[in-house]
A and B are shown apart, each in its own frame.
Chain A
Amino acid sequence: KAGVTQTPRYLIKTRGQQVTLSCSPISGHRSVSWYQQTPGQGLQFLFEYFSETQRNKGNFPGRFSGRQFSNSRSEMNVSTLELGDSALYLCASSAITGATSNEQFFGPGTRLTVL
């Protein structure tokens, strides 16, 4: 089974621009979660989607948004980029939702640099 894939792997943008990142979960997985990883704040949960619905949201401004398609692929968008948005964005997929023992499988991440 193919793992979680994320595209692109690297991105360079300038302040004020917007960016869209893509994540394809493992086949059959219907839940997709997004995390931001920075040296200063560590790994922080952004949001989770299941069946095209956002089920959980972290503490990020509205500039961060996402969506999920009927094939479970997910995109996240960041508008009006700021320097502090430079980070590794990780996507994780899971087979089920709601249970406490879900294992999440992570993709390799998209490295976003904002200049």
Chain B
Amino acid sequence: GDSVTQMEGPVTLSEEAFLTINCTYTATGYPSLFWYVQYPGEGLQLLLKATKADDKGSNKGFEATYRKETTSFHLEKGSVQVSDSAVYFCAPGGGNKLTFGTGTQLKVEL
């Protein structure tokens, strides 16, 4: 079955620092790729997605590119804010079944 490897957290950054959260996956075929975010006490929200190789998903300053050759979908943001503190999940998926990574907790400090 599908599987996902995400970098371990927590990741602690200062405000305005550059963020990278690594994600690699194994999957049958060519799934769509998603990043979801979970703020404290809340459910999951879709952050961005990419549906085919070389697609770049972007939202709220976050970006991730679908790299088929390396089976990766790393999340990046140029300048993080305290409000970005949350848990981030990488997930390949298809047919309404998502396989989630373990999640990476991000803490942004002033």
Contacts and interface: CB of A to CB of B under 8 A. Distances in A.
Contacts of A44: 100
Interface residues of B, number: 24
B69 interface: no
Interface of A: 4, 31, 33, 35, 42-45, 48, 50, 55-56, 58, 90, 92, 94, 97-109
Interface of B: 30-32, 34, 36, 42-46, 49, 51, 89, 93-103
A55 B43 contact: no
Given A90-B43, A106-B44, A100 B51 contact: yes
A55 B44 CA distance: 22
5 contacts: A56-B96, A97-B96, A100-B31, A103-B34, A109-B43
A97 B100 contact: no
A102 B43 contact: no
Contacts of B42: 108
Contacts of B49: 101, 103
Shortest 4 CB-CB contacts between residues of A and residues of B: A43-B100, A101-B51, A106-B44, A106-B43
Contacts, number: 70
Given A90-B43, A106-B45, A109-B43, A98 B95 contact: yes
Given A90-B43, A90-B44, A109-B43, A102 B93 contact: yes
Contacts of A43: 89, 98, 100, 103
B43 A48 contact: no
A2 to B, nearest CB: 14
Contacts of A56: 95-97
Contacts of B103: 42-43
Interface centre among B31, B95, B99 (most CB of A within 10 A): B95
Nearest to A102: B96
A31 B102 CA distance: 25
A103 B99 contact: no
A63 to B, nearest CB: 20
Contact of B96 (A4, A48, A106, A107): A48
B41 to A, nearest CB: 9
Given A48-B96, A100-B51, A101-B51, 7 more contacts: A48-B95, A56-B97, A100-B31, A100-B32, A101-B49, A102-B94, A103-B46
